[in-house]
Structure 1
Amino acid sequence: MADDPQRNFRSAYYEKVGFRGVEEKKSLEILLKDNPLDLEKLSTFSQRFPLPSMYRIHVWKVLLGVLPPHSDSHSLVGGYRKEQYQDIVESLENDENEDFLAIARAMEEIVDDPVDCYWLIKCFINQFHNKFGDSLPHLPKSLEHYLSLEEPRLLNHLRSIGALPQLPYSLWFKRCFAGCLPESSLQRVWDKVISGSCKILVFVALEILLSYKIMLIGNTRPEGVVKFLCNIPQENTEAIVSKAIDLWQKYCGNPNHAV
């Protein structure tokens, strides 16, 4: 994680999702005292309220089943547990699991501490689905619209060879480019998503198409187009994201424009 305060992903995200107050302290203390291993209540509580940092480790360990009842909340528990995301996975539809796991793997590369990583993933997924769930199905059409303005020739080519409906929309929009962009570039995109704009995803996809338009226009097989777009070169992604942000600001104007 970079030390630059302008790109401190975790600090900005903690503030955004509300990890700063202690209003729920008494409620959580009562809950843990009453039944520390009541996973259903703990999961419900953690979804309804932002948790003060001193309790996030405790709840995370209890949810994993690695913290005995009435034990010290600051005791150390070593070792990585794949089960740490089970409660999140259970809240998703079956076809959303792979998208979630891709985001989780990318977040693990960004965030070193497993407790921080768990809460960041949980809140990112919750916010993304709750705030943008209704908008996601419309993003492919939005991409088509902006591509018609920026490069109609490329749009017509993709449409004529049958590649347009096969573009990797799930990778781009449902996974927020996890598995497509390297983590250094991904952080910049996710910063915009967290700040309230899922439409940045459209402009990143748009800039990818524009950056490789010569290669794409030269390809007459839709499967070749899709294969390339799922495995774009990694050395140019910083420039792609920077240009995508410029396009986003050009068309949306308001940095808080969400959809």
Structure 2
Amino acid sequence: MAEDSQRNFRSVYYEKVGFRGVEEKKSLEILLKDDRLGILPPHQETHLVVMVHRREQFYDVHHALQVMRFINDTTPQTEAFLHMHQLEMGKLSRSSLYTLEPEDELFLAIANTIEEMADDDVDCYWLTKHFVHHLDTKFRDSQAAMQKGFEHYLNLEDSRLMAHLKVCNALEKLPYDLWFRKCFAGCLPASSLQRVWDKLVSGSCKILVFVAVEIMLTFKMKMTTLNKSNTMNEFLEKIPEDNTDQIVNKAIDLWHKHCGIPAHSV
């Protein structure tokens, strides 16, 4: 869970609701003073009461969907979370022809990852709901800039690999949507993503750029043996999990190398 040098983003949430089993880390002390996900109000004395209401709200909405026969005991939990979110947002559709919108796919991707991190369904729902809102309000228009940043820093780190991608016409077809819009949910395992998402909660979406760059650098031998964008994407959309922690460590090093050490990461 918590790394020696980095603080797990969930620790902020758990401390806010009175659980202090996670080791205190100075690196992200600012998050203790400012709940950047907006899950709880600023007045700490109200947190336990608010969480009681949040728990009741969760079960009320979940029960309502069961009564409506929209979900049942066999419905995957993250799918139930999506329908709960849609109901609360006034976007629940009864049409049998309904297809998932991009925002729904994002919610499910984030929920599936947080489900592996959280020990409680209520926690998982509220963390997902507010994390998705955080992404939507803070980084909605950042994807194009992140793609350009990825190309810039990859070229600085390995111009030959960059040239190979251009020759193969693969540069524009890389899985940017998975990497940047979904924050690598479904691409990297939850255990490795925790440190990356710490940075996102702290306000830096640029860490995603350096994770993407480091993935390419780590697997550059593989990439240079592939000459078609579709085969590259098949590999990059589900990379081997045996060294993803190392990829994240090196990505953070790259982030510091090119951007300095932001105040919230010291």
Give the TM interval when normalised to the shorter protein.
0.7 to 0.9
1:31 maps to none
1:215 maps to 222
2:60 maps to 62
Q: 1:204 aligns with which of 211, 215, 222?
A: 211
Structure 2 residue 167 is matched with structure 1 residue 154: no
Partner Cα distance (1:244, 1:23) in 2: 35
Partner deviation per Cα, 1:79-111 (whole Å, 9 max, x = no partner): 975433324347588222222211111110110
Q: 1:44-193 counterparts in 2 under 5 A?
A: 52-65=50-63, 82-89=79-86, 94-193=101-200
Q: Compared with structure 1, are the counterparts of its residues 223 and 6 closer, same or farther at alpha carbon in structure 2 (3 Å cutoff)?
A: closer
**Offset, 1:117:** 0.6
CA RMSD between the two structures: 3.0
Larger Rg: 1
Partner Cα distance (1:208, 1:89) in 2: 34
Structure 2 residue 9 is matched with structure 1 residue 9: yes
Q: Compared with structure 1, are the counterparts of its residues 59 and 175 closer, same or farther at alpha carbon in structure 2 (3 Å cutoff)?
A: same
Partner Cα distance (2:5, 2:175) in 1: 33
Q: Structure 2: which 5+ runs fail to align? A: 17-34, 66-74, 92-99
For CA contacts below 8 A with separation 6 or more, give which structure has more relative contact order. Answer: 2
**Offset, 1:224:** 1.5
1:48 maps to none
Structure 1, 92-101 or 104-113: larger mean CA deviation: 92-101
Partner Cα distance (1:5, 1:253) in 2: 17
Q: Secondary structure at the match of 1:172?
A: helix
Aligned-residue identity in percent: 48
Partner Cα distance (1:149, 1:84) in 2: 42
Partner Cα distance (1:65, 1:22) in 2: 30
Count of aligned positions: 223
Length-normalised TM-score, structure 1: 0.76
**Offset, 1:21:** 3.8
Partner Cα distance (1:108, 1:88) in 2: 15
Partner Cα distance (2:156, 2:125) in 1: 40
Structure 1, 248-257 or 145-154: larger mean CA deviation: 248-257
Partner Cα distance (2:216, 2:243) in 1: 13
Contact 1:63-1:84 within 8 A present in 2 as well: no
Q: Compared with structure 1, are the counterparts of its residues 167 and 122 closer, same or farther at alpha carbon in structure 2 (3 Å cutoff)?
A: same
Contact 2:143-2:180 within 8 A present in 1 as well: yes
1:76 maps to none
Contact 2:62-2:84 within 8 A present in 1 as well: no
1:44 maps to none
The one-letter code matched in structure 1 to 2:11 is: S
Structure 2 residue 247 is matched with structure 1 residue 240: yes
Partner deviation per Cα, 1:156-202 (whole Å, 9 max, x = no partner): 11011111111011111111111111111011111111111111000
Partner Cα distance (2:190, 2:85) in 1: 22
